[in-house]
Chains A and B, each alone.
Chain A
Amino acid sequence: MIKVEDVHKSFGDEEILKGITTEFDKGKTNLIIGQSGSGKTVLLKCLLGLFKPEQGRIYYEDKAIQDMDDEQQRKLREEIGMLFQGGALFDSMNIEENVMFPLRMFTKQKKTDMLARVNEVLKRVNLENVNKKFPAEISGGMQKRVSIARAIVNKPKFLFCDEPNSGLDPKTATLIDTLIQEITHEYDITTVVVTHDMNSVMEIGEKVVLLKHGKLVWQGTNQEIFKTDNEDVTNFVYSSDLFKKIRDVQLKEG
């Protein structure tokens, strides 16, 4: 579980996060949604410790990241898996080396054991026979799956995903969303996904946090989104014609 308490973050004179307080639950896919510029990625980077908030605290299982020394923060990061928007696979390494990287860095396993684990997670993300290929030789969807495999190879307690299905076709995007949710339940980890894709919200949003201009304006589940009268939620969700129609149908059906 991750707890965020009154987090403020500014860049120069501009305050990006204005007192965010929320919790991200263990064993659930927690989504941070909002329009571009709402502060989603800044909040994610604060959670990861890449940005230091000026005010407020972030707790990882009751231990505040602000109270941890460098070594404790380094240890914590070994328990974090991250899926970047572009995959962030290392160009100079093949798929096998990319996925094996966290194991090489943080464990003392034999190469054969590491290789077995790499093949296991690659199989889990439905990728086989790509071990010796380089990132540039596989599709964007496959790169995302490799990135998921790298994120989970060292059995993390926390998984962060930044726009995991941006640039993907709807079918592959759904596949990635489903994979993230399945892995969250299977490994019982705390997953935080930053997205502005409403399909993801509906597919996997077990907890949804809506940010607007750096403030948390609503939180709930994906089912509650259709029931709420919160103006910020309706403005965000029903900016898409498709979702307006879905809501009309739901209202008609009572």
Chain B
Amino acid sequence: MKYLQDIGSYFLMIKKVFGSFTKTSVLRHLIFKDINDLIISSLAIVSFISFFVGGVVAIQTALNMDNPIIPDSLIGFATRQSVILEFAPTFMSIIMAGKVGSFITSSIGSMRVTEQIDALEVMGINSLNYLVFPKIVALMFYPFVIVLSMFLGILGGWVAGVYGGFTSSSDFIAGLQEDFIPYQLFYAFFKTTVFAFILATVPSWQGFYMKGGALEVGKASTNSFVWTSVLIIAANYIITQLMLS
């Protein structure tokens, strides 16, 4: 019963987010601030993880190729497919659920605990629009982060493959170009956009409706990570089933 109530309250929150808009000049300022907090500040960690995981995918593929009739270009092919289809959109989103999701929940939760949200409400401001809408807009730039992740993941694979002596540069690049299906990129970016919406709204919901003090803010951040990850994995399965099978 509690889960049904929570689902209902989540969708009611989404409805309120898009009602009674905050003054445009204020909203614009908030959107730029959230782009900085949520997108720009994530670029370093995304770059680091993508580069090295891309490298590991290439090494793992190379080390598991015992059969001499399998061409070396498979390393580039496998790196591309793994990074574009799953690693960059899905697993990077789960990492972001930890980084961005916890930040959103704790910042909104702290505002709840210290009555800052009540202050907004008393002033007649739609606090959900003021707090959550800029985060949704900011995270619509999240696909650009994933483009960077894809590029650096493949670059990491190329560096590890070529400089680790597992393949030649030409074989790796031939693998990257092999059987390329542009629709798969569309699929990857479509699901990235869905994950961005989940990343913006589920942690906001956790923070906005939390009750209690500082301890509960911590608990809400943990719950936020768990639920955002679960929903991303579930959405990933459903979208893959609908778009690729």
Q: Would you give the shortest CB distance from A184 to chain B, in whole angstroms?
A: 18
> What residues on A are CB-neighbors of B26 within 8 Å?
104-105
A102 to B22, CA, bound (A): 12
Asked if B229 is at the interface of the complex by the 8 Å CB criterion, the answer is no
Instruction: Answer yes or no: A85 CB below 8 A from chain B CBs.
Output: yes
User: Cβ of B122 and Cβ of A91 under 8 Å apart?
Assistant: no
Q: Which residue of A is nearest B114, CB measured?
A: A86
Instruction: Tell me the bound Cα distance from A160 to B122 in angstroms.
Output: 10
Q: Note all chain B residues with C-beta closer than 8 A to A85.
A: 115
Q: From residue A148, how far is it (CB to closest CB) to chain B in Å?
A: 13
Whether B122 lies near A74 (C-beta < 8 A) is no
Q: Which residues of B contact A70 (CB under 8 A)?
A: 20
Task: A89 to B110: give the CA distance in the assembly, Å.
Answer: 12
Chain B interface secondary structure, helix, strand, loop or mixed?
Answer: helix
Partner-contacting stretch, out of A32-40, A75-83, A165-173, A224-232: A75-83
Task: Contact check, A91 vs B114: say whether CB atoms are below 8 A apart.
Answer: yes
Q: How many residues of B contact A (CB 8 A)?
A: 18
Whether A50 contacts B124 by the Cβ 8 Å rule is no
Contact A88 B118 (CB under 8 A): yes
Residues 71-108 of A at the B interface (beta carbon under 8 Å) = 73-78, 80, 82, 84-86, 88-92, 101-102, 104-106
* A1 within 8 A of partner (CB): no
Q: Which residues of B contact A48 (CB under 8 A)?
A: 122
CB neighbours (8 Å) of A101 from chain B are: 123
B60 at the interface (CB under 8 A from A): no
Q: Report the Cα distance A104→B118, complex, angstroms.
A: 18
Q: Which residue on chain B has the smallest CB distance to residue A150? A: B119
Q: Does B86 contact A (CB under 8 A)?
A: no
Please judge, given known A-B contacts A82-B122, A104-B26, whether A74 and B20 are in contact too, CB under 8 Å: yes
Q: Which B residues contact A (CB, under 8 angstroms)?
A: 20, 22-23, 25-26, 33, 110-111, 114-116, 118-119, 121-125
| 24 chain-A/chain-B pairs, Cβ below 8 angstroms | A50-B118, A50-B121, A50-B122, A75-B124, A77-B122, A77-B123, A78-B123, A80-B122, A80-B123, A85-B115, A86-B114, A86-B115, A88-B115, A88-B118, A89-B116, A90-B116, A91-B111, A91-B114, A92-B33, A101-B123, A104-B23, A104-B25, A106-B123, A160-B122
